[in-house]
A and B are shown apart, each in its own frame.
Chain A
Amino acid sequence: MAYNNDSDSRSAPVGIKLLIAGGFGVGKTTFVGAVSEITPVTTEETLTVASIGTDDLRDIKDKTTTTVAMDFGRLTLDDSYVLYLFGMPGQERFWSMWNEMSDGALAAVVLTDTRRLGDCFSAIDFFEHRRIPFIVALNSFDDAPVYEIAEVRAALDLPSHVPVVHCDARESRSSAQVLVSLVRYLLTSATHMSRSTTSLGAGQ
C-alpha cells in the first residue's frame, strides 16, 4: 500500500500562497530563489495585458518579456503544508494581473529598495485595498542609504500595525526570517481578532 490515509480525508498537503511584490528590480526573483526548494520557475499568467497586445507574448522586439513573468517558488514545510511563493511583476502596466494572481493568497511581502521607496506605493495600496495582510521588507543594497525603520514607516505612511523589517534577499536565512516575521504578524492579528471581535481598528 502506497498511502495510509489515517482518519484524515486530506491526502495532499495544503498549499499556502504568499505573494512577493515590489517595484521592478527590487529583488523579488532573488528573494523567491533564496527560500524556494526548487529552482524558481518563471511563467506568464495573463495574455490580455493592454500595453503588449492580446496574443503577442513573445514578440522579439519586446524587451520586457521577462518582466511580464511571474516567479514561482515552492517550500515544503511538513506533511501538511506547502508554501507557494509568487513574485508579482512590478511595473505599472502589469497591475491588471495582480487581481487574478492574488486570488486565494494568504498574505504578502512588499519588498522595498530604500533608494526608490515610491516604487512600492502601488503594491501597498493594492494590498490595503484587497485587504490582504502584508509586511514591508527593506532589501539591503550595498550602496543604498540605511534608514531607520521609523523613517521608512513615516515615508510610506504605513499603519502602525504593519511590520517593517530589514533583509538581504540574497541570503536564505534572511529571506526566511522575513516570512517568519510575516507569519508572526498574522498570528498576532488572528489572536487579536479572536480576542476582540467587536473592537475593530482598536490599534489606531
Chain B
Amino acid sequence: MPRLEEEQWYDDDAGRLVRPFLVTRGRTAPTVELDLLSLVQSTGAVEPTKLDLDHAHALQLCTMKISVAEVAGLMRLPATVTKVLLADLIDAGALLAHEPLPAADPEDLKMLEALLHGLQQRF
C-alpha cells in the first residue's frame, strides 16, 4: 500500500526539496477558479491511494470543508500551486468546491454584532 510520506520531502533549512512547480508539472493556471477562501471538500468518490502523493495529500486534507489557504499552508506549497492541485481534484470528481465566500459588508450591523459577541464569548 502506498504511504504518504510528504514530510520526508521537506527540510527545515532548505525548504521543500521538490520545487513547487514540479508538483503541477509546470502548470500555473488552475482549471477551476479558486479563491484563497474558497472552501473545498472531498466527495469520497476517489481513493487517495489511486493518486500521486501530492494530490493524495491534498485530498486527505479535505475530508472536512477547508479553505484553499489552509490547504496551501498545511502542504507548504504556494497558493497558486495548491490551486492547480485542487482544481485537478475537482476535475477528477474527487473534490467539491463551494462558491468563494462573498466579501463581508462593513455596514452589516447584524454581522458586526455577531462578531463582537463571538469574540467576547471566546476570550
Q: Which residues in A have some Cβ–Cβ distance to B below 8 Å?
A: 12, 14-17, 35, 38, 40-47, 55, 57-58, 60, 65, 72, 74-75, 77-78, 80-81, 83-84, 86, 101, 103-107, 133, 172-173, 176-177, 179-180, 183-184, 186-187, 189-191, 193-194
Contacts of B39 in A (CB 8 A): 12, 15
4 smallest CB-CB distances across A and B, nearest first, come from A41-B73, A77-B118, A104-B103, A176-B123
Query: Judging by beta carbons under 8 Å apart, are A58 and B16 in contact?
Result: yes
One of B14, B104, B111, B119 near A179 (C-beta < 8 A):
B119
| Contact bitstring B50-83, A, C-beta under 8 A = 1, else 0 | 0000000000000001010110111011111010
A41-B73, A84-B69, A190-B109 are known contacts. Are A47 and B115 too (CB-CB below 8 A)? no
Contacts of B19 in A (CB 8 A): 58
List 20 additional A-B contacts (Cβ < 8 Å) besides A58-B15, A104-B37. A14-B104, A17-B103, A43-B78, A44-B78, A58-B20, A72-B69, A74-B70, A77-B121, A81-B111, A81-B115, A84-B37, A86-B36, A86-B69, A173-B123, A177-B123, A180-B119, A183-B115, A187-B113, A187-B116, A194-B107
Chain A residue with Cβ nearest B98: A12
Query: Judging by beta carbons under 8 Å apart, are B72 and A41 in contact?
Result: yes
Report 7 cross-chain contacts, Cβ distance below 8 Å, ordered by A residue: A65-B15, A72-B70, A78-B118, A80-B114, A86-B69, A104-B104, A194-B107
Contacts of B108 in A (CB 8 A): 190
Chain A residue with Cβ nearest B110: A80
Contacts of B112 in A (CB 8 A): 183, 186-187, 190
B122 contacts the other chain (Cβ, under 8 Å)?
yes
Contacts of B16 in A (CB 8 A): 58
Query: Judging by beta carbons under 8 Å apart, are B21 and A176 in contact?
Result: no
- Residues of A contacting B: mostly: mixed
Contacts of B65 in A (CB 8 A): 12
One of A55, A172, A189, A190 near B123 (C-beta < 8 A):
A172
A3 CB to nearest chain B CB (Å): 12
B19 CB to nearest chain A CB (Å): 6
B63 CB to nearest chain A CB (Å): 14
In the complex, what distance in Å separates the CA atom of A105 from the CA atom of B115? 15
B106 contacts the other chain (Cβ, under 8 Å)?
yes
A43-B79, A47-B80, A60-B15 are known contacts. Are A77 and B119 too (CB-CB below 8 A)? yes
Chain B residue with Cβ nearest A58: B15
Query: Judging by beta carbons under 8 Å apart, are B120 and A180 in contact?
Result: yes
B45 contacts the other chain (Cβ, under 8 Å)?
no
A17-B37, A60-B15 are known contacts. Are A47 and B114 too (CB-CB below 8 A)? no
Contacts of A45 in B (CB 8 A): 36, 78-80
